Structure 1
Amino acid sequence: MGEPIIIPNGIRTMIPAVRISNLTRLCATVPDGCFVECGVWRGGCLAVLASIAQAEGRGRLIYGFDSFEGLPEQTAADNDHGKEFVGSCAATRQDVIETFETWGIPLDDTRLVKGWFEETVPAICEEMPPIAALRLDGDWYESTRICLEYLYPKLVPGGVVILDDYLTWTGCKAATDEYRTRHDINSELVITDPLGEAWWRKE
């Protein structure tokens, strides 16, 4: 098995090194299944997932969901926390393609899905294979809720779900806590770093 490429944060990803390292470590421990990221921006983190899959040689598919129009409007559940960032973080499919090309990572097994989560995730989830790693970076309540509602049931036992904004935005935390409570999920919720990423492993 080869070594995955680790992309530095900055021009192609906003994810700090500690989270890239955590992602790489966790993905090395999951069963068979696809890797999914919801909220890909310029594709730096998605490229890390693809490079991990390529290094493993297990034929995993990679799915990247993004509106490519920036962050959506908030709902009341977000309590206006982060409202000033609505519309920010816009990128294009071409930005993602250029990231993969820059780092020499094939796009063959990567599926880029353009559109708002409420439209794309329910429409596509049924045709997706089981999920081994689910990384959510949608920031707001509704984005997080939709992704958990439709994609978490496809996560295999032993798979991981990662919430990039768990302690950053109140809406993300609220949607996550509500989902875990409603579905009696008692797996330990691990905080990755002081900035607030969290993850758990499905039992």
Structure 2
Amino acid sequence: MKSLKIEVYKKLQKVKLKKEFSRLFEKYSEYTMIPQGLYFANLNLAYHYRNVPGSIVECGVWKGGMIAGMTELIATKKAYLFDSYEGLPDAREIDGQDALNWQKDVEGSYYFDNCMADEKFAIEAMQKSGCEFESSKGWFEETLIQTAHLEEISILRLDADWYDSTLCCLRELYPKVARGGIIIIDDYYTWDGCSRAVHRYLNEIGSMSRVNSESGIAYIKKQD
């Protein structure tokens, strides 16, 4: 009887959580280019690691819809946003031919003006969340070296696209991620440069942490 009650409780919690995911996606849909299924998957990961100590950090926020949803879902953590708000830097050969072709196709459906969006949209999205946040405008190599005040991270979401940007984010912020915290890698399955940067960095530090997959989302649970 007790096990049955537990199962019923778990099912009710899943239904409740899915409703909350739907509410958040609807609330922030105009601030994100992430489709609903992947948006839900990001929220689900954030929810399951909500009790790890530290802040939520996103590198590459566009209009802020993803980190706003994650922060509102947890509601107990401060969010830190990092973006140039000037679009993406030029892709290089190491990023792969698909990346080079994407950046040349300025009329493409998913070009989004080279992923450029004014910082005001991200600030607006975070204000809607009602949570504490800071937004740092500039290229990662300029802003991430100024994060001494950011002592511990529970959830680090990287939407940095290219090799250089991803490697920069990992080198500056991975050491700040709490043991048991997660690093969500948005572009791991999309751009060659991103996956190359991830594996180079893990090799550099001799990490035993692995790249996991959950509903199409690549992430690392920090073990060391």
Same-fold call, TM > 0.5?
Answer: yes
Against the structure 1 CA distance between its residues 189 and 158, is the aligned structure 2 distance closer, same or farther, given a 3 Å change threshold? same
Q: Is the 8 A contact 1:134 1:162 kept in 2?
A: yes
1:49 aligns with one of 40, 58, 70: 70
Matched, 1:176 2:193: no
Structure 2 distance, partners of 1:120, 1:192, is: 30
Over aligned residue pairs, what C-alpha RMSD do you find? 2.2
CA offset at residue 68 of structure 1? 0.4
Q: Is the 8 A contact 1:27 1:133 kept in 2?
A: yes
Matched, 1:70 2:91: no
Matched, 1:199 2:223: no
Q: Is the 8 A contact 2:47 2:74 kept in 1?
A: no
Written as runs of structure 1 = structure 2, the 5 A alignment for 1:24-63 is 24-30=43-49, 31-54=52-75, 58=76, 60-63=77-80
Partner of 1:105: 129
With 63-72 and 78-87 compared, the bigger mean Cα shift is at: 78-87
Q: Which amino acid aligns with 2:103?
A: F
Partner of 1:152: 174
Give CA-to-partner distance per residue, 1:81-124, whole Å, 9 cap, x none: 412427601001111133345xx3225x111110001110112x
Structure 2 distance, partners of 1:129, 1:16, is: 32
Partner of 1:129: 151
Structure that is richer in helix per residue: 2
Segments of structure 2 that go 5 or more residues without pairing to the other structure are 1-16, 105-112
Structure 2 distance, partners of 1:167, 1:27, is: 19
Matched, 1:118 2:141: yes
Structure 2 distance, partners of 1:18, 1:100, is: 21
Give CA-to-partner distance per residue, 1:136-182, whole Å, 9 cap, x none: 00100001000000100000011000100001000001000111122
Partner of 1:19: 38
CA offset at residue 193 of structure 1? 4.4
Partner of 2:122: 96
Structure 1 distance, partners of 2:103, 2:189, is: 16
Q: For the pair shown, which has the larger CA radius of gyration, 1 or 2?
A: 2
Q: Is the 8 A contact 1:77 1:141 kept in 2?
A: yes
TM-score, structure 1 normalization:
0.85
With 75-84 and 35-44 compared, the bigger mean Cα shift is at: 75-84
CA offset at residue 10 of structure 1? 4.8
Segments of structure 1 that go 5 or more residues without pairing to the other structure are none
Structure 1 distance, partners of 2:145, 2:93, is: 22
Percent identity between matched residues is 35
Q: Is the 8 A contact 1:70 1:89 kept in 2?
A: yes
TM-score, structure 2 normalization:
0.77
Q: Count residues with an aligned counterpart.
A: 192
Q: Secondary structure at the match of 1:88?
A: helix
Q: Is the 8 A contact 1:40 1:64 kept in 2?
A: yes
